[in-house]
Structure 1
Amino acid sequence: MNDLARHVSQKLGDVLDLSSLSAIPVGAFKTVVADATMPFQIKGKHAKDDVVLLVSNSDFDGVVEDDIAMAQSVRDIVDGETGAQIVRPKLSGKWGTQSYAVFERHHAFSQNRALATFQKVMIAPVLRDWCAQLALQTKQHWADDDAYDRRFRAPLRHLVQDHDCPSALRRFAENRLANTRTDQWTCIEHGDLWLGNVLLTRKFPNPFAPSDFNIRVIDWRGANVQGYPGADIVRFVRSLCGRPGRLRSKWVGQILGQYRATLEMTPTDMAENVALSLGVLGQDLGCFPRDRYCDMRRDTTGFLRSQGMLGDI
């Protein structure tokens, strides 16, 4: 990795302190995902030059390249303001067979509880509005019956047929399959929009300076260009709030309610779109661990119930 860091520094104009190269710790979940990438941080000789180096692993050597390509394809579709929140590399390429990218270093949410709470409260509305614009600007209707069935019926059938699916979610899917809607639509869905994939451009945003609340959304390789509106914001809010038992807050309801109002969506619509997203993932887990998927589906079901979005089921 030292040779790659040296190569990167030269490409950037020898602005990096190579002695500062260090691996960025990742969560336990990432260590069991076969195609997980390897992140490193390198300090600049000046703080403004600090970077993050992302490298694919040798078994899945194209994943960083795929990440960059997907992010660029999304930026090409949306307007400039929405696209600006999607992380853009300073440099990317191949090192041997492995793909890599270099990004300006931004800030993760703080480990300090008080500061993290402030960051979350200030950033959540920004992320909510960004998600809404991403959905509206990539909205796509489906007139073909077979395509409509693949996008809006088959994922629900998968949930109904999966015996490990929580009973409440299975009954909800059965209920929605009995509803013969033809007006549903898809949009670009990030697919993994949790706290760790949203970075802040400023660690200590000034509440009176809107420009301080710019975000950068990372990790686009799993994005679904035919995804579902509402799935991303539900995932993000769940990650903001922590344990399922702490999710019955007025603040959570307001964030989701304001998103739904922008998209003219009912709570049932949102729950159905989340169910569809879970069904699509379940149809093709790829490198995603099955046990992790089942845990996520169970926790998401608990969240939807806590917000009253599954109705009386």
Structure 2
Amino acid sequence: MVLRPALWRSSGMNPSSIDVEARESDQFGEGLALIAARISESLPHCIVQPVAYDRMLADSPLRMIGCDSSGQPRAFILISSREAPGYIARTVERAERAAKSLPAQLASAVLLPHTTGDIEGRTFAIFPYARPFSESKVIRKSQTMFVRGSIFRWLHDAVSATLTQCESGDDLDEVKAALQCIECDGELSRRLRCCAAEAARSIESGTWRPCFTLVHNDFCIDNVLRGGVVAGGHRFAVIDWAGATTRGYPVYDLVRMCRSLGLGVGSIRRQMQRHADAIGYGFLECSYSLCASLGRIGGDLEHFPRNRYVQLVESCWKCVEDSIGTEKTGEPSQNEVSTPCPSN
């Protein structure tokens, strides 16, 4: 993360001294002084600095770091935007739900805040500070090389610990609705839509029984910080649980993390096999589950731009095709008699 100059100190603030560019871009205006006053209740005499965030997303929260008088980071602060004032409350609630669904040893990797509240209707949370990985690709690669094994083990274990079968008709209808979002989307590739159609037929025939598990839904290295004491001894801590659910479909989180780490095809295939073993799936069922996840996301994009969603879907699908082979996914072979795939 790139720090900008401090906007204010939590004691002796002067709202008129707030940086004009930051006021306009962060859309908090005079409310910054009130925010700082609330933060000072938990972090007295700290220096608060805003950090970079995704301004392309209307619901992206304001992110800040609270430093002590010597300049050492002590806290990470998130404040909801005007467009999505309840975003941080939702993030915290889902993080807490995720932690409760996991065994204690796994739950400690879920970074939870020590202070929450709202300011003029916008929710905020203050977290213990954990260091991000470097912005430099070269340095980040060396840093993550020593922790990625722990991240993947945690993910496999978390999926295994929270796995439940979709038993009821409502559960299966929910999966089929997600698959239909992919099957009927003319902007997506034929192979992907074909896989979604085949997955839906497999549910109908009973040859595939989907399952639910805890999913983060944005499980990439940008949402993993270096751990330690704040993560119960884990070498990493997982943040930004806004999209998480305990009724998610496995595989998507794995694919996102593999892509964000830039793993090669062989490494992705090995991780996919370990994930499949934890779930009790074959590679074909893994591709079905990915389709269901992507379809559910597409059905509830909120502030996420449509064009970025299409890019995300296609990149995740390519990752799976490249790593497990097209013969393992939903594209029928020439000798297979099957219902036709959707046409473009």
Give TM-score, length-normalised by structure 1: 0.86
Rounded Cα–Cα distance in structure 2 between residues aligned with 1:259 and 1:308 = 13
Of 195, 203, 218, the match for 1:192: 218
Following superposition, the deviation at residue 196 of structure 1 comes to: 0.9
1:44-97 residue CA offsets vs partner (Å, 9 max, x unmatched): 235766211110012221111111111111112211111100011121111221
Following superposition, the deviation at residue 118 of structure 1 comes to: 2.3
| Partners of 2:67 and 2:74 within 8 A in 1 | yes
Alignment of 1:73 with 2:100, yes or no, is no
Of 149, 157, 169, the match for 1:133: 157
1:113-192 matches, within 5 Å, as: 113-151=137-175, 153-179=176-202, 180=205, 181-192=207-218
Following superposition, the deviation at residue 117 of structure 1 comes to: 1.6
Q: What residue ranges of structure 1 are gaps of 5+ in the alignment? A: 203-210, 242-246
Q: Which amino acid in the other structure matches residue 79 of structure 2?
A: V
| Partners of 1:172 and 1:310 within 8 A in 2 | no
Rounded Cα–Cα distance in structure 1 between residues aligned with 2:170 and 2:218 = 27
Q: Which amino acid in the other structure matches residue 156 of structure 1?
A: L
Following superposition, the deviation at residue 214 of structure 1 comes to: 2.0
Kindly report structure 1 stretches of 4+ aligned residues shifted beyond 6 Å.
Answer: none
Rounded Cα–Cα distance in structure 2 between residues aligned with 1:213 and 1:110 = 18
1:1-313 matches, within 5 Å, as: 1-12=32-43, 14=44, 16-18=45-47, 21-26=48-53, 30-45=54-69, 50-151=74-175, 153-179=176-202, 180=205, 181-201=207-227, 214-241=235-262, 248-311=264-327, 313=331
Following superposition, the deviation at residue 169 of structure 1 comes to: 0.4
Rounded Cα–Cα distance in structure 1 between residues aligned with 2:293 and 2:283 = 15
Share of identical aligned residues, percent?
Answer: 20
Aligned-partner SS, 1:42: strand
1:249-277 residue CA offsets vs partner (Å, 9 max, x unmatched): 42332233223233333222222111110
Q: Which amino acid in the other structure matches residue 23 of structure 1?
A: P
Rounded Cα–Cα distance in structure 2 between residues aligned with 1:257 and 1:182 = 18
Following superposition, the deviation at residue 124 of structure 1 comes to: 1.7
Q: What residue ranges of structure 2 are gaps of 5+ in the alignment? A: 1-31, 332-344
| Partners of 1:268 and 1:309 within 8 A in 2 | no
Q: Which amino acid in the other structure matches residue 290 of structure 2?
A: V
Report how many aligned residue pairs link the two structures: 292
Aligned-partner SS, 1:102: strand
| Partners of 1:123 and 1:213 within 8 A in 2 | no
| Partners of 1:191 and 1:223 within 8 A in 2 | yes
Aligned-partner SS, 1:92: strand
Aligned-partner SS, 2:146: helix
Following superposition, the deviation at residue 305 of structure 1 comes to: 1.4
1:184-209 residue CA offsets vs partner (Å, 9 max, x unmatched): 2111211111111111126xxxxxxx
Aligned-partner SS, 1:85: coil
Give TM-score, length-normalised by structure 2: 0.78
Rounded Cα–Cα distance in structure 1 between residues aligned with 2:259 and 2:294 = 15
| Partners of 1:231 and 1:270 within 8 A in 2 | no
Rounded Cα–Cα distance in structure 2 between residues aligned with 1:252 and 1:120 = 15
Following superposition, the deviation at residue 119 of structure 1 comes to: 2.2
Q: Which amino acid in the other structure matches residue 134 of structure 1?
A: A
